Amino acid sequence: MMNLIVAKAENNIIGKDNSLLWHLSEDLKYFKQITLGKTVLMGRKTWESLPFKPLKNRRNVVISSQKDYVANGAEVFTDLDSALEALKDEEVFCIGGASIYKLLLPKCDKLFITQLFESFEGDAAFPEIDTTKWEIKRLSPMLYDEKENIKFRFEVWETKKQ
């Protein structure tokens, strides 16, 4: 099962200069709760942006086009297809970045989205969700982070049954 997990701004921005633009402790707890014990799949830049690597108690998988790239504590694949083949029997969570999200969105079963209700300036964006193919299945109540002064909620989207 292929899933995707992301925190995104109202204008779909997810980062700038290979960093997050906010720090929501509830979102980090949610991310950990959802991904613990699972496989996390990410691009090289996302791997390099992690403050602690590998992510503990998860199988860490990195996609990098660099043939000799080494990510201590993670498995590295040079292309997405070979990674997906190796992970076909696992529950996988794509954790970014923007280009990996764009490639994997059509292959996903569920989207775990932390939706922020504020726009940000950034250089990495999440692709538009085609609402003819996806529907929201669960919504958390509206939440508020005092430290960051941001309203947000957790959303779970699933592909629509045809």
Task: Express each pLDDT in 12-58 by its tens digit.
Answer: 999 999 999 999 999 999 999 999 999 999 999 999 999 899 999 99
Q: So what's the pLDDT on residue 161? A: 80
Q: So what's the pLDDT on residue 11? A: 98
Q: So what's the pLDDT on residue 133? A: 95
Q: What is the mean pLDDT of residues 80-104?
A: 96
- At the top level of CATH, the class of 2-159 is alpha beta
Task: Express each pLDDT in 104-159 by its tens digit.
Answer: 999 999 999 999 999 999 999 999 999 999 999 999 999 999 999 999 999 999 99
CA angle 76, 79, 82 (to 5 degrees): 85
Identify the burial level of 83 via C-beta atoms within 10 angstroms of its C-beta, where 0-12 means exposed, 13-18 middle and 19 or more buried: buried
Question: Strands 92-94 and 2-8, how do they pair?
Answer: parallel
